[in-house]
Structure 1
């Protein structure tokens, strides 16, 4: 059975926001830390990572997604943070402020729907975030932590959220390539 990696997400497509995120990425890459920056066209807020699915599951997942009701809303991108902690940085992300509770509500509704399709619920508490870099090793970690701390309260800007997308992810040597499979407005 032919399968592929898939996830459900809210994409960041506003060019002004993407430029601000690129500026932050440029600064963190100048620390000398070994990083894998997320390409601008791949920046998104993951709502549910589904893992490998078959093409026959796409319509079932789409039907589940259509059960989620939301009106378009403004989402404020706010602050830079990391997982799991400043002393062990694996993942650098952009957070949310205004509208973040709506993203969490969509996530919770989606979890309830997707669970019916036998997908395991996430064990960790959901925090709306968009990963901007993955840290390969701890080289120059102190410089990296300083930049993350400096931008922890950065007001990045607002975007309109008017769709949730089911996307496929194909891993290539240059990084993942995402394709939109379905979208709910």
Structure 2
């Protein structure tokens, strides 16, 4: 959403700051982020994701005030899934039909607990807001966003070169509630609102 149309909160001394956009995510280790970012190539029209911003979105929530964000956090704290190993591999495009918009790396096979985690996260969020949008889940790490000026042949060659991309699997030991602030001409700025370890005692 353009910054000029975003909802804002009145801050101290008359300043206005945007309402944060929240989402839940898995953040891979720095080594995995760096390895995925290293596939970046000089492709015209592709805006690459900085290594520190690479993550897997479990569910996008949207603009949320502080009170509701706290309710989401309290509900998410009740999620219980055992830690698991997540494989990372393969590249592709979204959407699968029409002009390409997103270049991504996938998560391979054998990630049943990822879907268990996503299901519990969705249930926790819906317990706070039953009207929250729940589109389909296609787990991926966004490598770059594709603009109108990209060269289809160059992009096809890139996909062919990296179709067998495989990063080391990593242990998922937590998930995070995160905020995103958008500034025109700059990558999104992500902040961790709260982290939720998976290896916790069961809820009484």
Superposition TM-score tier, normalisation by shorter sequence: 0.7 to 0.9
Q: Could you tell me whether the CA contact under 8 Å between 1:5 and 1:170 is conserved in 2?
A: yes
Ranked by relative contact order (alpha carbons within 8 Å, sequence separation 6 or more), the top structure is 1
Mapped to 2, the partners of 1:63 and 1:73 lie a distance apart of 23
Mapped to 2, the partners of 1:69 and 1:93 lie a distance apart of 28
Structure (1 or 2) with the greater strand fraction: 1
- Unaligned ranges ≥5, structure 1: none
Q: Which residue of 2 is the match for residue 176 of structure 1?
A: 188
TM-score, normalised relative to structure 1 = 0.88
SS in 2 for 1:89: coil
Deviation (angstroms), 1:68: 1.4
- Unaligned ranges ≥5, structure 2: 1-7, 10-18, 198-204
Q: Which residue of 2 is the match for residue 12 of structure 1?
A: 28
Deviation (angstroms), 1:63: 1.6
Please, what is the CA RMSD of the aligned residues?
A: 1.9
**CA displacement 1:123-163 (0-9 Å, x = unmatched):** 3x211101110001152112212322432332221112111
Mapped to 2, the partners of 1:62 and 1:117 lie a distance apart of 10
Moved more, 75-84 or 85-94: 85-94
SS in 2 for 1:159: strand
Q: How does 1:130-141 map onto structure 2 within 5 Å?
A: 130-141=141-152
Q: How does 1:1-185 map onto structure 2 within 5 Å?
A: 2=9, 3-15=19-31, 17-25=32-40, 27=41, 30-31=42-43, 33-85=44-96, 88-118=99-129, 119-123=131-135, 125-172=136-183, 173-185=185-197
SS in 1 for 2:179: strand
Deviation (angstroms), 1:38: 1.0
Count of aligned pairs: 179
SS in 2 for 1:6: strand
